[in-house]
Amino acid sequence: MPGLANHKMNLKSPPIVPINHKTKTIEIIGPPGIGKSTFYKSLCKTWNNNLNWVYQNRLLAPPKPKLSEFKIWLQYQFHMIANKDGNRDIPVDYGLRFVEDHKELGLFFWNHLSGINSCMDKEIGKSFRSAYFLFKDFCRYQAIFDSISSKPCIIDEGFLQKSFLLQDNEKLMAEIVTEYLHLIPLPSSVIYINTTDANIIIDRICNRKKIIASHFRKDKNELIAETEKWQYLFSIIIEKLTRNNIPVLCIDGERPIDENVRYINSVLS
């Protein structure tokens, strides 16, 4: 996409087979707490038909009802104006079709969820939770692929933002990422939100109402360690994406959201 800058990392990675399975999606990634969801919602509020992108809720929204169906029409308008999730319920069949078309990826996830650690009592709940969200991803990705649009769809919390990719062993992490990137439907480009100061992210995590599962009962030092692990993971992912000509646009999570939104819109125009 014109204007997108590649983010180069100084990592010494072994050569990988070129990736050809790119899709018409733009994925937002970044360490938890950096403000991805807030940025995404703010970006979506600026959307209009003249922009060269679309977002998931708009793309998957049901057809606009006729004015004669006033009650339904009014509800539709409310969802669109308020930018609420007006998506139709995505049928289970979408997820099943996704798995049918991505069998190797399905097996990859199944092996991950069925690992030895998953058999421990304390991990069973996490495995079911992961399976639930993964299948929801299968459904929404298939729905996006099935939707007819000449514009790329911007998505949040996609396949590149998965916590199971985090590993204590850096070599193992790189190997898993390499295999994973050859199995998932990759975005045509990526928006990476980050900051060099992990303490800023930790302050946001500690002061927000939403607590994600991986942050529960962790102290500040543990949160910093996990944030740095996420940043290292993304450095691996970005290195491999840029080497396969997938543009990555990096924005500073410390800057005001409205500035970052204006910048992204200027680049994507």
Model pLDDT for residues 65-92, shown as the tens digit of each residue: 777 777 777 877 776 666 555 445 789 9
Q: What is the pLDDT of residues 10-29, one digit of tens each?
A: 333 333 444 446 789 999 99
CATH number at residue 188: 3.40.50.300
pTM: 0.82
Distance CA 112, CA 106 (A): 10
Percentage of residues in the chain having pLDDT higher than 70: 81
- Nearest partner of 9 among 242, 252, 247, 245, judged by Cα: 242
Distance CA 7, CA 248 (A): 6
Q: How far apart are the first and last CA of the chain?
A: 10
Is residue 15 domain-resident?
yes
Is residue 23 domain-resident?
yes
Q: What is the pLDDT of residue 6?
A: 37
Percentage of residues in the chain having pLDDT higher than 90: 57
Distances (CA, A) of 174 to 6, 111, 181: 20, 18, 11
* Residue 221 scores a pLDDT above 90: no
Local confidence band at 144 (pLDDT 50, 70, 90 cut-offs): very high
Is residue 6 domain-resident?
yes
Distance CA 12, CA 20 (A): 22
Region 211-224 average pLDDT: 73
Is residue 252 domain-resident?
yes
Domain hosting residue 237, numbered range: 1-60+151-269
Q: What is the pLDDT of residue 197?
A: 87
Is residue 243 domain-resident?
yes
Q: What is the pLDDT of residue 130?
A: 85
Region 238-265 average pLDDT: 95
Q: What is the pLDDT of residue 8?
A: 34
Q: What is the pLDDT of residue 126?
A: 76
Q: What is the pLDDT of residues 175-203, one digit of tens each?
A: 999 999 999 999 999 999 999 888 888 88
Q: What is the pLDDT of residue 7?
A: 36
Is residue 105 domain-resident?
no
Q: What is the pLDDT of residue 17?
A: 41
Is residue 89 domain-resident?
no
Q: How many domains does the chain have?
A: 1
